[in-house]
Structure 1
Amino acid sequence: MTATARRGKWFLKEPRADASARIFLLPYSGCGATMYRQWPSMRDGVEFCAVQLPGRENRMREPAFDSYEQMALALAEALRPYLDVPFGLFGHCSSALAAFETAARLCETGPAPARLFVSSEVAPQDGPYGYFLGLDDEGLSRELAGLLIGMGVQPHPGLIDLTLGVLRHDVDVNKRYVKPDPPVLSCPITSIGWRDDYGVEPRLMDGWSRCGETQTVLFDGGHYEFVGAPDGLLDLLVRGVR
């Protein structure tokens, strides 16, 4: 089987065979895998694999998932060929919920993740939550512009217009995600807060302890700090899967 056949459309490049561990990075609402363009591909033998979801970037013509549970079923199967080494899942804001559902699925079917990393998001039973859930298209456009600038991309109006529909769909998926009694994961969880986060204050993330054994970590920075791949965050992820 060729590398392209194996990879399909879930990765922009084939994960490396020589990785000692892998961390699968789920994209933020409205974004695709290229949002991790500033991240290294590998650190101390641990590979960072940005996941490309349908409905965005080179998969724009494919229908996006209508629920995190639906996404988890498909993503768990797509990742299976690459779960031959210890691995983790990372999600920021709403993608933390998608990562949680994927981790829950893999904990059921095996192999289970070495760790789930959730950043800037309340636990499933405490949502839906987030100031952006109440924003109109104008407000969401401003958020997109700020995120694109943080990614080093010029936020041209045409690009904002193209991405706004993806973000609106993702926001609606988040609004529908109601999980008053979430499963308890067999893998550990690291809950990552950011001191200057105006979207999800770190104190609101305490509920993750109901979802499994949870470690809480607090970093300096705001809601989009993770985009720049800060060393402290990368080191935390690497330690978590080794």
Structure 2
Amino acid sequence: MATAEDFGLWIRKLSTPDDPRARLICFPHAGGSANFYFQFARGFDDFEVHGVQYPGRQDRRREPFRKTVQELADEIAGLMGDWNDLPVVLLGNSMGALVAFEVAFRLETMGVAPLSLFACGRVGPMLGKDEETHLKDDDVFLREMALLGGMGSELLQDEEIIELVLPPMRADYRIAETYRCSPGTRLSVPIHVHIGKDDPKVTEEQAAEWKHSTTGEFTLDTHEGGHFFFTDNGDDLTRTISRSVPDTLATKV
């Protein structure tokens, strides 16, 4: 049975409104941490926002990396199974979208499905996309990081920073690039996909493939910006998530 200590390792509270009407769980991109969503969380007045902290980075850097997206999802869903006092919305960016999708599937199987899933900056789970970036040398790998953004270019010149971020980044890339969606892994809850129109990794056509991963509502929205569009242009996404809760609850009545 999961302990409070286990829960605190994995799931970090980023905002604490007085009277929350829903809970938003945010799953970071490859190499990312729970605190990546700290600024984003400030855009919600009445959502309790949490970020997931994967092992192998920051205060969890001494823990082993997990070997698959599914292994990560098993552990996270196990922690969240009894955590249903509020409507739960999942949001994942890039690799985090895959983890959130697999967590949503497990929660649904357990009878505690989330209200909806927001998937950002990622091709549909049914599309295998192994560019073997995780196998490339450090210089090529760092150029890939610079292409996507998410880390300031000055940080990518700092050898101490590189030494800290490269191992979790490469480990995460490996599990994201080798991820294969198991047959029958499909949700019944709504999936809302959001991408930046200048994202070098995701086309609108590829993002639309998420529609095959749910029998419920599907939407696709394109925003100004790139792979991490919502770090500079997140107001539309924040409003959309906020509106989705009463809209989705209304369909369940």
Residues in 2 aligned to 1:143 and 1:34: alpha-carbon distance in whole angstroms: 22
Q: Which residue is equivalent to 1:9?
A: 9
Alignment CA distance shift 1:186-1:14 (3 Å): same
Moved more, 215-224 or 37-46: 37-46
Q: How does 1:20-35 map to 2 (within 5 A)?
A: 20-35=21-36
- Please give the per-residue CA displacement for 1:50-84, whole angstroms capped at 9, x wherever unaligned: 11111111111111211111111110122235431
Question: Could you tell me how far 1:171 is from its partner in structure 2?
Answer: 1.2
Using the size of structure 2 for normalisation, the TM-score is: 0.84
Moved more, 51-60 or 132-141: 132-141
- Please give the per-residue CA displacement for 1:107-134, whole angstroms capped at 9, x wherever unaligned: 1002111101111111121112568567
Alignment CA distance shift 1:161-1:40 (3 Å): same
Q: How does 1:1-242 map to 2 (within 5 A)?
A: 5=5, 7-13=7-13, 16=16, 18-41=19-42, 43-129=44-130, 132=133, 135-144=136-145, 146-149=149-152, 154-155=155-156, 156-179=158-181, 181-212=183-214, 213=216, 214-228=218-232, 230-242=234-246
Alignment CA distance shift 1:201-1:133 (3 Å): farther
**SS state of the match for residue 38, structure 1?**
helix
What's the RMSD between the two structures over aligned residues? 2.6
Question: Could you tell me how far 1:38 is from its partner in structure 2?
Answer: 2.0
Residues in 2 aligned to 1:75 and 1:219: alpha-carbon distance in whole angstroms: 29
**SS state of the match for residue 148, structure 1?**
coil
Residues in 1 aligned to 2:227 and 2:131: alpha-carbon distance in whole angstroms: 12
Q: Does the 8 Å contact 1:113/1:187 carry over to 2? A: yes
Q: Which amino acid aligns with 2:166?
A: L
Question: Could you tell me how far 1:220 is from its partner in structure 2?
Answer: 1.3
* Structure 1 unpaired stretches of 5+: none
Q: Give percent identity, aligned residues only.
A: 30
Residues in 1 aligned to 2:228 and 2:136: alpha-carbon distance in whole angstroms: 18
Higher relative CO (Cα under 8 Å, sequence separation at least 6) belongs to 1
Question: Could you tell me how far 1:9 is from its partner in structure 2?
Answer: 0.9
- Please give the per-residue CA displacement for 1:67-109, whole angstroms capped at 9, x wherever unaligned: 1111111101222354311111111111111111000000100
Q: Does the 8 Å contact 2:90/2:114 carry over to 1? A: yes
Using the size of structure 1 for normalisation, the TM-score is: 0.87
Alignment CA distance shift 1:195-1:38 (3 Å): same
Residues in 2 aligned to 1:122 and 1:14: alpha-carbon distance in whole angstroms: 27
Q: Which amino acid aligns with 2:85?
A: D
